[in-house]
Amino acid sequence: MVSALALARAGVPVTLFERKKYPFHKVCGEYVSNEVRPYLASLGVEIDALGPAHINNFLLSAPSGNTLREPLDLGGFGISRYTLDYYLAQQARQAGAIIREGTAVQELQYQENKFCLKLATGEAHFTDLVIGSYGKRTNLDRHLQRPFFRQPSPYIGVKYHLRYHQPKDLICLHNFKDGYAGISAIEDDKYCFCYLTTRANLKASGTISQMEASILSQNPHLKKIFREAEFLYPQPEVINEISFASKTCIENHTLFCGDAAGLITPLCGNGMAMAIHAAKIASNCILEYLTGRLNQEQLEKKYTQLWQQEFSRRLQTGRLVQRLFGRPILTEMVLHTFKQFPAGVRFLMKKTHGKPF
């Protein structure tokens, strides 16, 4: 959506295909680092008009309930995808983008320097360039024969919106056996509560609610949430087969952004900020291509170089940190070490977050 808005504002004809209809919920932590603010402002995006929560502090808990609290150097804001994506869709339409809601792309072919998108409606859409920003895993990945798609993944993600008594400037990461949960404020006095765990946990428990009672609630902070929070929707949003395998940001001449380019672990900063930054990189490269400063090969090469330069180390650090969490004894050790050496926490934050752009 950010790519569509940026290109439309630059006068580029843009068509965006969205399988669902705005507004809708997505499994997402819904915290965005303030590093994105300068770029969003340059696109005319008025984040503060949406009433986001302003977040400046971080709390980490081990399964036992032991905690570590530190200020966030840059801080961020909390906003739901339901609100933000709908707002961006309105902005992109006003800028001239065509948005085809309720329209899934089933196949993507590239022949003779032209893309053909085959839609679920039976139509074929032809275009010169394609940005693939469709999330973690879709049938398009199967169609494109992307290697990661053949690798089974044990992870599932679950998200709720709720009302709860927690400081609005605080984002918390609570660990439990084979998983971790984040909670932070968003707009309208609501909180986003989102967690990652394994199918093995779910299978052992039988249902999501039983898993939350028997496994997540072993952490007293999570037990308190399930006991005291007002859950705002009857059922959570759930996604399966979340893969943290390495991906490439170019496949079949398609420029991938966000999770489609490389799944961002929840512990390596935040996926929304990285996706927005990738949108800026992709849009700028496309504008150079459209003005004749890059050919197709140069466009793909430059996008790949800039993407890897900006994100590869953050992703590697995130994958490394992720291995330290969800394991009770190891998490306790990490938390104890960080308490003894708080500079290590700040160092890790710098390694997993970007700078304002």
Q: Residue written as tokens 């953050």?
A: 314
Q: What is the pLDDT of residue 246?
A: 72
Q: What is the pLDDT of residue 6?
A: 98
pLDDT of residue 194 exceeding 90, the answer is: yes
Mean pLDDT, the chain, rounded, equals 90
pLDDT band at 188 (very low <50, low <70, confident <90, very high): very high
Selected residue with higher pLDDT from 46 and 353: 46
pLDDT of residue 49 exceeding 50, the answer is: yes
pLDDT of residue 336 exceeding 90, the answer is: no
The residue among 211, 146, 144, 222 whose CA lies nearest residue 180 is 222
Q: What is the pLDDT of residue 248?
A: 86
pLDDT of residue 322 exceeding 80, the answer is: no
DSSP designation for 1:
-
CATH class of the domain whose range is 2-352? alpha beta
- What does each C-alpha distance from 107 to 50, 142, 148, 349 come to in angstroms? 36, 10, 18, 39
Cα 205–chain centre separation: 27
Helix ranges, 172-270 (H): 199-205, 208-214, 220-228
Q: What is the pLDDT of residue 64?
A: 93
CA distance 255 to 296: 11
Stretch 215-221: mean pLDDT: 97
pLDDT band at 265 (very low <50, low <70, confident <90, very high): low
Q: What is the pLDDT of residue 269?
A: 53
Cα 75–chain centre separation: 17
Report residue 198 as tokens: 């394994």
Q: Helix, strand, coil proportions of the chain in percent (round to 5)?
A: 40, 25, 35
- pTM, 2 dp: 0.91
pLDDT of residue 346 exceeding 90, the answer is: no
Selected residue with higher pLDDT from 125 and 341: 125
| pLDDT digit string, tens, across residues 133-179 | 988 778 788 878 787 777 777 889 999 999 999 999 999 999 999 99
CB 352, CB 317: distance < 8 Å:
yes
| pLDDT digit string, tens, across residues 271-313 | 899 899 999 999 999 999 999 999 999 999 999 999 999 887 7
Q: Where are the domains of the chain?
A: 2-352
Q: What is the pLDDT of residue 148?
A: 76
CA distance 243 to 265: 10
Helix (H, G, I), strand (E, B) or coil at 77: strand
Q: Give the whole-number percent of the chain exceeding pLDDT 70.
A: 94
Stretch 124-139: mean pLDDT: 90
Q: What is the pLDDT of residue 268?
A: 47
Q: What is the pLDDT of residue 325?
A: 65
Helix (H, G, I), strand (E, B) or coil at 195: strand
Selected residue with higher pLDDT from 121 and 327: 121
CB 216, CB 207: distance < 8 Å:
no
